[in-house]
Amino acid sequence: MVAKKSRLLATAFPYLQIFSAFSLTPPPQSFGNTSHKKLRWYLMAGFVCYAAGIIVLVLFVSHLNIVAIDKEVLDYKVADFTRVMGNIQKSLYSVVAIANQLNMLFNYRRLGGIYEDIANLEKDIDEASQCFGGQRQGYSFRFRLVYSVGLWLVLLMALTPRFTLMAMGPYVSWPCKILTEFIMIMQQLKSLEYCVFVLIIHELVLRLRHTILQLQEELEDCHREDMLQAICVALKRNQLLIGRIWRLTGEVGAYFTLSMTLLFLYNGLTILHMVNWAYINTFLDNDCCRYDRFWIISMLLLNLLVPCLISQHCINAYNCFPRILHKIRCISAASDFPILTRGLREYSLQMQHLKLLFTCGGLFDINLKYFGGMLVTILGYIIILIQFKIQAIAENKYKASFNISGQ
């Protein structure tokens, strides 16, 4: 199995097992060792049957939710774009689930290649760090996984039913509510699966940064030509490894393009849907879910903020390399050794051209800047939505008063 070749993947596999239980990713055991090929085929056959059952369940629950919201719209007499928005939002349950399954099917080999690239990169980075300063402390990655992914995973699974069960209203039966909770949690966990891979890339970047900082310290007290040549070799190796991380980031982005795009779309539309119903229920005295809707919206936004924040931390760590290279070039020993000077210049040019981006197929970038732009966009749509609602209420009041005066 690939985990035997990589401590990072071995640390992350318990989280990937959870995501596999929600049919978000193939079982990690299905990659790697070819000596148990028959067992792997049985495992994948079982997972395919389980994933097909999940798709049938999602389609059934989506249908029940669409029927329920149609009844609710008729009873509240708000059969305008509320019905269209609600039906689209409920239909996205099926669209997102089917898209995730198709993504796993068509990108299965790509995911296996990502696992192999991570294992090989970790091995090569560890070998490159042996001569200069050794490795970083391994527990930091485990700790960041716990508080970045594990903690938010527990909060999502615990708080989502608390705030959404009652907000579904009386038109949805309790069995359907429970199944809908499972589907909602399943879809939101896709962002945490993405975060696991970004954290692995971040750890690889931090290890390379640790190595190049050790090279800087060695160079400050180095005056021997053989040692300078060894630093040149280590610097070139570091440059090649950072290029491989850049390519790995592109592969991870390509694998998650469809899933993350639909997740951002689903959460944004759900927020608008929740605001629409919050405005409709503002005029009711028996609205019991007024504050629950606020917390649901907050959780949806936080679930988009977490991958943007983790991606931004990784980008910031990557962007430290040009500053470190500039400091190395300012050391007198480096300026007196032409081969090292040329190596630093080549490394700097590479960093200028290979910008680290976490992007969804070029549609948008996953970072804090995009998250801020998304918030502004959602706020703009909310303002437009409320304006339409106010106009509709004013027209209804005018028609009612006209009918009364006509009588």
pLDDT at 108: 92
- Asked if pLDDT for residue 37 goes beyond 80, the answer is no
Residues in the chain: 407
Query: For residue 97, how far is the Cα from the chain centroid?
Result: 16
pLDDT at 261: 93
Q: How far apart are CA 53 and CA 55, in angstroms?
A: 5
Residues 78-89, mean pLDDT to the nearest whole number: 77
R_g of the chain, CA atoms, integer Å: 26
Residues 6+ apart with CB under 8 A from 133: 210, 211, 213, 214, 217
What is the b/e burial string over 59-77, where b = at least 16 CB atoms within 10 angstroms of the residue's CB? eebbebbbebbbebbeeee
Q: What is the dihedral of CA 255, 268, 293, 173, to 10 degrees?
A: -70
Given CA atoms 360, 56, 22, 169 in this order, what sign does their dihedral have? positive
Quote the domain boundaries for residue 312. Answer: 2-406
Q: Specify whether the CB–CB gap between 275 and 297 falls below 8 A.
A: yes
pTM confidence score: 0.90
pLDDT band at residue 173 under the 50/70/90 scheme: confident
pLDDT band at residue 398 under the 50/70/90 scheme: very low
The answer to which of 150-164, 202-216, 387-401 has the lowest mean pLDDT is 387-401
Question: Distances from the Cα of 248 to the Cαs of 68, 196, 276, 385, in angstroms?
Answer: 44, 14, 41, 41
Q: What is the DSSP string of 149-178?
A: IIHHHHHHHHHHHHHHTGGG-TTS-HHHHH
CA count, 13 A, side-chain hemisphere, 32? 18
| Amino acid sitting at position 295 | W
- Asked if pLDDT for residue 228 goes beyond 60, the answer is yes
The answer to which of 133-147, 374-388, 393-407 has the lowest mean pLDDT is 393-407
Count of Cβ atoms closer than 10 Å to residue 84 Cβ: 11
- Asked if pLDDT for residue 89 goes beyond 80, the answer is yes
Question: Distances from the Cα of 86 to the Cαs of 80, 94, 168, in angstroms?
Answer: 11, 14, 12
Q: How far apart are CA 85 and CA 77, in angstroms?
A: 15
CA count, 13 A, side-chain hemisphere, 312? 12
Higher confidence at residue 30 or residue 157? 157
Q: How far apart are CA 54 and CA 101, in angstroms?
A: 10
Q: How far apart are CA 248 and CA 120, in angstroms?
A: 11
Q: What is the pLDDT of residues 230-250, one digit of tens each?
A: 888 888 999 999 999 999 999
Residues 6+ apart with CB under 8 A from 322: 348, 351, 352
pLDDT band at residue 315 under the 50/70/90 scheme: very high
What integer best gives the mean pLDDT of the chain? 84
Residues 6+ apart with CB under 8 A from 102: 258
Phi, psi of 258, rounded to the nearest 5 degrees? -65, -45
Instruction: Please give the tally of structural domains in the chain.
Output: 1
How many Å from the N-terminal Cα to the C-terminal Cα in the chain?
81
- Asked if pLDDT for residue 209 goes beyond 70, the answer is yes
- Asked if pLDDT for residue 223 goes beyond 70, the answer is no
pLDDT at 189: 94
pLDDT band at residue 259 under the 50/70/90 scheme: very high
Question: Distances from the Cα of 63 to the Cαs of 90, 116, 182, in angstroms?
Answer: 8, 40, 15
Higher confidence at residue 385 or residue 10? 10
